[in-house]
C-alpha cells in the first residue's frame, strides 16, 4: 500500500512530466523556421544529363523534378521563399528575389523555377547574402537551402560570407546541395571547399547529389521535416 506522502509525490511527478511534454511539443522547432531556397539557374544548368538510350534531360529539369516531389510536404509546416541566380541575360551575374517566405509556397516556387532559362554566371555568394537578409538573419532564426552545380564565378568568397553570417546571425542555418559536381571542370576542389565552409560555418550540411533520387533525399534532409510531418499525421488520424 502506497503512503499518502508517496502518493502525493507520485502525482506531482506525473503532472510535471505531462507539463514538460506539452512544453516540448509547443516549443518552436527548426522545421518551422522561415526558409529561403537559393536556386542555381546559371548557364551550366542547361547542360544535359544522359539517362540512357535516347533519354537526355537538362540538368535544371532534374532539379525541378526533385524539388517538386519535396515541396508539398516541406511547405506544410514552414514559410518558404525563393531566390534565383544565373537566369539570362547570357554571361551576367544576375540575382533575382522571386519572393520572401510565404505560406503554402509549393505552387509559386514551382511556377517560378519552371519559367527559368539558365544562361548567366554563378553569383552564389551574393544570392546567399540576399537570402539571409530577406530572412532578417540578425534578429530571427532562418534556413537557407542552396542548390548549385557550379562554383562562385562573380568574384566573391562563399567561405568569407559564411564567416560574416556566423558572426552576425541570431541563428542561421545554411545548407548547400552540390549537384553533379564530381568530375566536372568548372567545379574544382577549391570551389567544393568554399561551399562546404559556407555550410559548416552556419550549422548546415554540404550534400553532394549525383542523381534525381539523391536530390530528393538532399531536399528532404535540408528543407523538409519528416519528424514533424509524421507527428501531424498521427494527430490527424487520432482526431478522426
Model confidence pLDDT, tens digit, residues 132-170: 999 999 999 999 999 998 889 999 999 999 999 999 999
At residue 94, the 3 state secondary structure works out as coil
Round to whole Å and give the CA distance between 189 and 102.
36
In a domain, 152, yes or no: yes
Characterise 230 by phi-psi region: left (phi > 0), alpha (psi -120 to 50), beta (else): alpha
502518493: which residue's cell? 7
- pLDDT, residue 54, reads 47
Round to whole Å and give the CA distance between 174 and 201.
8
- pLDDT, residue 188, reads 57
In a domain, 213, yes or no: yes
- pLDDT, residue 184, reads 53
In a domain, 227, yes or no: yes
- pLDDT, residue 217, reads 96
Round to whole Å and give the CA distance between 125 and 198.
9
Q: What residues in the chain have per-residue pLDDT under 50?
A: 2, 8-10, 13-28, 53-54, 185-187, 227-240
Instruction: Return the CATH number at 147.
Output: 3.40.50.410
State whether the Cα torsion 151-152-154-156 is positive or negative.
Answer: negative
User: What are the grid coordinates assigned to 194, written together?
Assistant: 568554399
In a domain, 14, yes or no: no
In a domain, 25, yes or no: no
Round to whole Å and give the CA distance between 172 and 146.
13
In a domain, 174, yes or no: yes
Tens-digit pLDDT profile for residues 96-109: 999 999 999 999 99
- pLDDT, residue 89, reads 77
In a domain, 229, yes or no: yes
Domain residues for the domain of 142 are 34-239
- pLDDT, residue 181, reads 79
> Which alpha helices (DSSP H) does the chain contain, by range?
4-26, 59-74, 106-114, 124-134, 158-168, 189-200, 212-222, 226-239
Question: In total, how many domains does the chain have?
Answer: 1
In a domain, 24, yes or no: no
For residue 85, list its beta bridge partners.
40, 95
- pLDDT, residue 192, reads 83
- pLDDT, residue 154, reads 94
Amino acid at each position: 500500500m502506497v503512503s499518502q506522502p508517496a502518493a502525493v509525490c507520485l502525482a506531482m511527478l506525473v503532472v510535471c512530466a505531462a507539463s514538460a511534454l506539452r512544453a516540448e511539443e509547443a516549443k518552436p522547432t527548426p522545421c518551422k523556421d522561415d526558409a529561403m531556397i537559393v536556386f542555381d539557374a546559371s548557364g551550366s544548368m542547361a547542360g544535359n544529363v544522359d539517362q540512357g538510350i535516347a533519354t537526355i534531360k537538362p540538368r535544371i529539369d532534374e532539379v525541378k523534378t526533385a524539388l517538386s516531389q519535396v515541396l508539398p510536404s516541406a511547405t506544410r509546416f514552414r514559410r518558404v521563399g525563393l531566390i534565383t541566380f544565373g537566369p539570362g541575360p547570357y554571361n551576367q551575374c544576375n540575382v533575382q528575389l522571386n519572393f520572401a517566405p510565404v505560406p503554402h509556397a509549393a505552387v509559386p516556387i514551382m511556377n517560378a523555377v519552371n519559367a527559368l532559362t539558365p544562361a548567366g554566371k554563378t553569383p552564389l555568394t551574393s544570392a546567399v547574402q540576399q537570402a539571409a537578409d530577406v530572412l532578417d538573419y540578425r534578429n530571427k532564426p532562418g534556413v537557407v537551402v542552396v542548390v548549385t552545380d557550379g562554383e562562385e564565378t562573380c568574384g566573391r568568397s562563399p567561405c568569407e560570407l559564411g564567416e560574416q553570417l556566423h558572426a552576425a546571425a541570431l541563428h542561421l542555418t545554411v545548407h548547400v546541395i552540390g549537384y553533379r559536381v564530381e568530375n566536372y571542370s568548372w567545379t574544382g576542389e577549391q570551389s567544393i571547399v568554399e561551399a562546404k565552409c559556407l555550410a559548416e560555418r552556419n550549422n548546415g550540411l554540404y550534400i553532394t547529389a549525383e542523381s534525381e533520387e539523391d536530390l530528393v533525399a538532399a531536399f528532404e534532409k535540408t528543407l523538409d521535416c519528416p519528424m514533424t510531418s509524421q507527428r501531424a499525421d498521427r494527430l490527424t488520424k487520432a482526431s478522426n
